[in-house]
């Protein structure tokens, strides 16, 4: 390939926010009919770089060429006129509108409904999309919403498509369907950039890999001539072991027994339906499921912060004493040793106070447990120092308000704080959501350390490859119900994907008694 026929050339691109340099003198090329994966650790500037191509940000320095013509992309509307579209992690759709209404939104003049639907049908047939134009967005799955977003940008003439973490909440089957569509778009000459942390997917779909590190361009790899290890080493700047340890459980004993839990949300929708299972000490029970399958509500119910319609959650201590957790105050549940680490989209919305510094946020974990809270600051500070050191939290100092840290660093503090409390039961959901490879593997190591100490771990994750590597058993949820509980070392990713979308008819016994 050469620069003369590039669909996109970015030269010397720099962008800063306050004192932080997000991109520093970055070069990037994209050619017609190719798929490029953009890789890098958290904070390496991947999304910022693509946001400048999509007109969301404007570069402080550098030049952008589209089809060999220098352009100034001052807005998303300008990017669209140049044939550039970006599908973000959080979809920009109007829930009460139908698919076709969302797709044509932004078109000038009056809509010709039949003509619009005909054009949508032609796009779907050409690339392999499956869209019901009359279906309301609020009735769609995540995969269907994503499809509408992609059809929308193609409908408006996009030739350069940017996908930001497009497979984060898709099943393996949905991911493969998306990749097939991307391959069809590639054959049609369209250029695609995919931002992802999933290296197996990079190997499966991309032609080239562009790597950023600390805001700078560090190199390009041809996918066919590289491997995940080389990509990781280039991202991090040093060798990282990609094997997730899975120590064998030692003398496991029942620690938590969940029986027939039912949960209805404030809108009257039943989110968890008759769920039963148990957790053993020294084991990791993974939970797989499409986003919104009841994972959040289930974990919050165990931790005492979600109202339960019916059911029982019994904690069993080392002496065999049983305690019913339903109805207990969340603080009392924590004192028993049940720790919840849930990483939501808004990381500051779950137990961290943005204006407090790191040490003060560590104190929140034990607030109310001691009258010495206001005077005993040594212990929280030592915990903060350990979390910052072990998880390599990037911060000017322990006195820095957490709101000034990046999302990934806030996440490390949130997860590290719960693990540092020495729990007996660790409930962790999306612990590595959006984290880079290096940070993710540090958290996997910490979770495995908890397992070795005899902690019962519930691990909710989005990456099935990781779930299969780190878990002893995997419970699959489908529409709020237990589809099956399987041996992580014997099941295949495809089998888990099928269980995520349909209930198994092979379960013959109550999982709480015969998991």
- pLDDT confidence of residue 86: 95
CA distance 387 to 410: 11
Candidate from 85-94, 134-143, 293-302, 354-363 with smallest mean pLDDT: 354-363
Answer yes or no: are the C-beta atoms of 186 and 35 closer than 8 Å.
yes
CA distance 322 to 255: 9
Whether residue 379 is found in the same domain as residue 332: no
Is 245 within a domain?
A: no
Question: In Å, how far from its chain's centre is CA 73?
Answer: 29
- pLDDT of 376 strictly over 60: no
Report the percent of the chain where pLDDT is more than 70: 91
Whether residue 141 is found in the same domain as residue 280: no
Whether residue 333 is found in the same domain as residue 353: no
- pLDDT confidence of residue 369: 47
- pLDDT confidence of residue 348: 52
Across residues 115-130, what is the average pLDDT?
Answer: 93
Domain termination residue (choose one: 236, 269, 292): 236
- pLDDT confidence of residue 291: 79
Kindly state the tokens that stand for 336.
């028993």
Question: In Å, how far from its chain's centre is CA 402?
Answer: 21
- pLDDT of 368 strictly over 50: no
DSSP letter, residue 357? B
Burial 74-89 (b: 16+ CB within 10 A, else e): eebeebbebbbbbbbe
CA distance 159 to 85: 8
Is 448 within a domain?
A: no
- pLDDT confidence of residue 351: 60
- pLDDT of 482 strictly over 80: yes
- pLDDT confidence of residue 419: 80
Kindly state the tokens that stand for 414.
């949130």
How does residue 373 score in pLDDT terms, banded at 50, 70 and 90?
very low
Domain termination residue (choose one: 378, 401, 422): 422
Is 242 within a domain?
A: no
465 vs 278: which has the higher pLDDT: 278
Partnered with residue 195 across adjacent β-strands are 38, 164
Whether residue 361 is found in the same domain as residue 388: yes
- pLDDT confidence of residue 510: 43
- pLDDT of 139 strictly over 50: yes
CA distance 48 to 53: 9
Is 449 within a domain?
A: no
- Per the listing, tokens 């053993």 go with 280
- pLDDT confidence of residue 107: 76
Q: Which residue segment(s) compose the domain that 358 sits in?
A: 348-422
Across residues 305-332, what is the average pLDDT?
Answer: 95
Whether residue 50 is found in the same domain as residue 102: yes
Question: Taking all residues of the chain, what is their mean pLDDT, rounded to a whole number?
Answer: 87
Is 481 within a domain?
A: yes
- pLDDT confidence of residue 294: 92
Whether residue 11 is found in the same domain as residue 108: yes
Whether residue 206 is found in the same domain as residue 260: no
Which tens digits make up the pLDDT trace of 148-179? 999 999 999 999 999 988 887 788 888 899 99
Answer yes or no: are the C-beta atoms of 162 and 118 closer than 8 Å.
no
Which CA distances in Å does 163 have to 35, 104, 150? Answer: 11, 20, 9
- pLDDT confidence of residue 10: 98
55 vs 512: which has the higher pLDDT: 55
Which tens digits make up the pLDDT trace of 203-260? 999 999 999 998 999 999 999 999 999 999 999 887 777 788 888 888 899 999 999 9
Whether residue 490 is found in the same domain as residue 360: no
- Residue among 2, 25, 36, 20 at smallest CA distance from 10: 25
How does residue 377 score in pLDDT terms, banded at 50, 70 and 90?
low
Is 102 within a domain?
A: yes
- pLDDT confidence of residue 411: 76
- pLDDT confidence of residue 79: 96
Whether residue 20 is found in the same domain as residue 164: yes
- pLDDT confidence of residue 393: 82
- pLDDT confidence of residue 441: 86
The domain that contains 217 carries what CATH number? 3.40.50.300
Helices (H), 105-165: 113-127, 142-155
194 contacts: CB under 8 Å, gap ≥ 6: 35, 36, 37, 38, 163, 166, 182, 201, 202, 205, 206
387 contacts: CB under 8 Å, gap ≥ 6: 358, 362, 393, 412, 413, 416, 417, 420
Which CA distances in Å does 392 have to 388, 413, 416, 430, 438? Answer: 5, 10, 11, 19, 10
Which CA distances in Å does 386 have to 393, 413, 417, 427, 500? Answer: 10, 10, 10, 21, 38
Which tens digits make up the pLDDT trace of 428-464? 988 887 677 888 888 898 899 999 999 999 999 888 8
Is 248 within a domain?
A: no
- Residue among 515, 510, 508, 514 at smallest CA distance from 259: 510
Domain termination residue (choose one: 171, 203, 236): 236
Is 218 within a domain?
A: yes
Q: Roughly what angle, to the nearest 10 degrees, separates helices 172-187 and 142-155?
A: 10
Whether residue 387 is found in the same domain as residue 482: no
- pLDDT confidence of residue 159: 96
How does residue 3 score in pLDDT terms, banded at 50, 70 and 90?
very low
Question: In Å, how far from its chain's centre is CA 29?
Answer: 27
Q: What's the total number of domains in the chain?
A: 3
Q: Which of 316-325, 361-370, 371-380 has the highest mean pLDDT?
A: 316-325
Whether residue 333 is found in the same domain as residue 366: no
Q: What is the three-class DSSP state of 514?
A: helix
Answer yes or no: are the C-beta atoms of 191 and 160 closer than 8 Å.
yes
Which tens digits make up the pLDDT trace of 94-116? 999 999 999 998 777 677 899 99
Whether residue 331 is found in the same domain as residue 360: no
């Amino acid at each position: 390939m050469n620069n003369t026929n590039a669909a996109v050339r970015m030269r010397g691109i720099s962008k800063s926010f306050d004192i932080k340099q997000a991109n520093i003198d970055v070069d990037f090329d994209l050619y017609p009919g190719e798929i490029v994966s953009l890789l890098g650790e958290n904070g390496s500037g991947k999304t910022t770089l693509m946001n400048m191509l999509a007109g969301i940000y404007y570069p402080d320095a550098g030049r952008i060429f589209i089809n060999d013509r220098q352009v100034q992309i001052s807005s998303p509307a300008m990017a669209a006129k140049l044939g550039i579209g970006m599908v973000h992690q959080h979809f920009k759709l109007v829930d009460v509108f139908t698919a076709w209404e969302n797709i044509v939104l932004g078109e000038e003049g009056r809509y010709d409904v039949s003509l619009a639907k005909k054009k949508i049908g032609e796009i779907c047939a050409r690339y392999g999309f499956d869209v019901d134009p009359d279906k309301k967005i609020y009735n769609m799955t995540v995969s269907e919403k994503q499809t509408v977003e992609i059809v929308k940008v193609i409908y408006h003439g996009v030739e350069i498509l940017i996908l930001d973490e497009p497979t984060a909440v898709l099943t393996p089957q949905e991911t493969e369907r998306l990749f097939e569509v991307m391959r069809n778009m590639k054959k049609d000459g369209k250029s695609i950039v995919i931002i992802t942390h999933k290296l197996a997917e990079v190997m499966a779909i991309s032609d080239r890999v562009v790597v950023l590190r600390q805001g700078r361009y560090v190199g390009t790899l041809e996918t066919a001539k590289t491997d995940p290890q080389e990509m990781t080493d280039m991202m991090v700047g040093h060798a990282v072991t990609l094997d997730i340890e899975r120590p064998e459980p030692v003398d496991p004993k029942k620690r938590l027994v969940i029986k027939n839990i039912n949960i209805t949300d404030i809108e009257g929708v039943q989110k968890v339906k008759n769920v039963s299972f148990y957790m053993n000490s020294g084991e990791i029970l993974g939970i797989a499921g499409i986003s919104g399958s009841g994972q959040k509500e289930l974990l919050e119910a165990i931790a005492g912060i979600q109202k339960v319609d019916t059911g029982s959650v019994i904690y069993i201590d080392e002496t065999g004493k049983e305690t019913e957790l339903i109805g207990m105050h969340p603080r009392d549940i924590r004192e028993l040793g049940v720790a919840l680490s849930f990483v939501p989209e808004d990381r500051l919305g779950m137990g961290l106070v943005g204006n407090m510094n790191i040490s003060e946020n560590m104190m929140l974990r034990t607030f109310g447990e001691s009258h010495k809270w206001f005077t005993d600051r040594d212990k929280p500070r030592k915990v903060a120092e350990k979390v910052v050191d072990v998880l390599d939290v990037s911060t000017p100092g322990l006195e820095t308000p957490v709101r000034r840290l990046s999302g990934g660093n806030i996440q490390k503090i949130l997860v590290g704080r719960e693990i540092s409390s020495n729990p007996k039961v660790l409930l962790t959901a999306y612990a590595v959501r959006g984290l880079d490879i290096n940070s993710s593997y540090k958290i996997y190591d910490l979770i495995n350390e908890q397992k070795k100490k005899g902690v019962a771990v519930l691990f909710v994750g989005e990456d099935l490859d990781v779930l299969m590597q780190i878990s002893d058993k995997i419970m699959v949820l489908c529409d709020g119900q237990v589809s099956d509980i399987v041996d992580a070392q014997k099941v295949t990713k495809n089998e888990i994907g099928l269980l995520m979308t349909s209930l198994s008819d092979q379960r013959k016994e109550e999982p709480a008694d015969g998991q």
